[in-house]
Structure 1
């Protein structure tokens, strides 16, 4: 096994940072033109896809070809699915309430504050969370059991997330469910199947990249950070504060696991 190419990896980190920054700055300009900042949620998945493609191109001549291709494809599939799902769900709606509350606290120009507090912050987070994808492009040696386990965990997570999103979309599309709490399908097992699936995706990508100690050490921050964001940051914690006063939510929360899937109680 050859030594890890630190110099080439460092150059790749720079290209990835520029890719994430470019995606977010372009999204910011589109948001200004449309007058809504909610489209930044669509750019989240696109940013990861861009980084996967940029690092795949910039790492040519390094790493294991199969691992490089697999990491790129898995990341792009996840990122594009998420971008399309959010884009379809938000189409035709006004500003997201989260961004309305954030911008209401802006000390000065609202749009410049959004650029700092939303777009540049998300560019940095995308760059950090995507470390396993970047490291996988330079990891030497053939795929082993860890990579197989990572791909399986990625597939499980993507399926869990996509099924949960689909079930919620069908529930919301039925006028009879207006004002009700979604507590069917995977949503009986966990209050956040989409966030749990996301978490599995990134731990899977971490395993794919970490069959040697250098990529494993470089990448560990990524799944830890994503798990924190999903459970304590802008994910379930923020959503549950918003849902706390909804009729029926307290009873739903009392009987349903907050994150890790758990067998629902018998009716």
Structure 2
């Protein structure tokens, strides 16, 4: 986060922190896999899960941000404040969030597997999340590249949820929690359950769907789209 803050000040854009998010969590998983003394195959499996998700996400956000200005959500959060406000409200907060969200990864690396089957349940939930996130991102990119697109993206997964990428992100971290801490037993699982819950809170309320909704509601046709499509958890779309 210190490196990211320096880069942010140089380029004049706080939203670069979103690129750091996946890379930082991958680094936590790597250090945990190398230094942990828990079940070896599970340590490296969790590293693969975190890295496959995190590096794809960081690269996707990096490409999306090239040549772009500040994200309106961060501009609203900072309220015109300068670098010191950004350090306090963004970089310190997200650094602490990364540590907290990664607790299941660290606990899993330091403990042995109690329930092998739960590791694979977690992997299955992770797969669902990655599919929603990556397919949703690809569908949104195709929509933006379509010169005949409508005012609102309501195709594919976006017809089932207004934020398939955020929903996928939440599934990824509930899956990682199941495969790492929860598969080590009830106590490690319960002690770290707030980590994916906090991640879900950020995705829905703090920096994800809800702040973005305030901006999107100003777009023509979005209110009608919201009336027939759930914000987060997918379900078949209602008829207009």
Give TM class, smaller chain.
over 0.9
Cross-structure match for 1:88 = 63
Q: 1:242 — aligned with what?
A: 215
* Cα deviation 1:221-257 (Å, max 9, x = unaligned): 1111111111222111111111112110111011111
Following superposition, the deviation at residue 99 of structure 1 comes to: 2.5
Query: Residue 186 in 1 paired to residue 163 in 2?
Result: no
- Deviations 1:160-206 (Å, cap 9, x if unpaired)? 1100010001101223337x110000000111100110111011011
TM-score calculated relative to the size of structure 1: 0.85
Contact 2:73-2:207 within 8 A present in 1 as well: no
**What is the correspondence of 1:7-46 to structure 2 with a 5 Å cutoff?**
24-46=1-23
Q: State the Cα deviation string for residues 10-39 of structure 1 (Å, max 9, x = none).
A: xxxxxxxxxxxxxx1001111122222221
Matches of 2:67 and 2:104, distance apart in 1: 35
Could you tell me which residue of structure 2 aligns to residue 7 of structure 1? none
What is aligned with 2:90?
Answer: 118
Does structure 1 residue 176 correspond to structure 2 residue 148? Answer: yes
Do 1:161 and 1:194's aligned partners in 2 also have CA atoms closer than 8 Å?
yes
Q: Tell me which residue corresponds to 1:165.
A: 137
Shift in Å, 1:90: 0.9
1:13 is matched with none
Aligned partners of 1:144 and 1:129: how far apart in 2? 22
* Equivalent residues, number: 238
2:234 partner SS: coil
Which runs of no fewer than 5 residues in structure 1 stay unpaired? 1-23
1:47 corresponds to 2:18: no
Query: Are positions 1:265 and 2:232 aligned together?
Result: no
CA distance in 2, matches of 1:247, 1:104: 26
What does residue 199 of structure 1 align with?
170
Q: Do the aligned residues in 1 keep the contact of 2:32 with 2:43 (CA within 8 Å)?
A: no
CA deviations 1:140-166 (Å, max 9, x no partner) are: 136511111000110111011100010
- Whether 2:150 is the aligned partner of 1:150: answer no
Secondary structure of 1:39's aligned partner:
helix
Cα offsets for 1:55-99 (capped at 9, x unmatched):
12221xx11011101111101111101100100111111222223
Per-residue CA deviation, residues 121-149 of structure 1 (Å, 9 max, x unaligned), is 10000111111111110121365111110
Native 8 Å contact 2:121 2:178 kept in 1? yes
Write out the 4+ residue segments of structure 1 that deviate beyond 4 Å after TM superposition. none
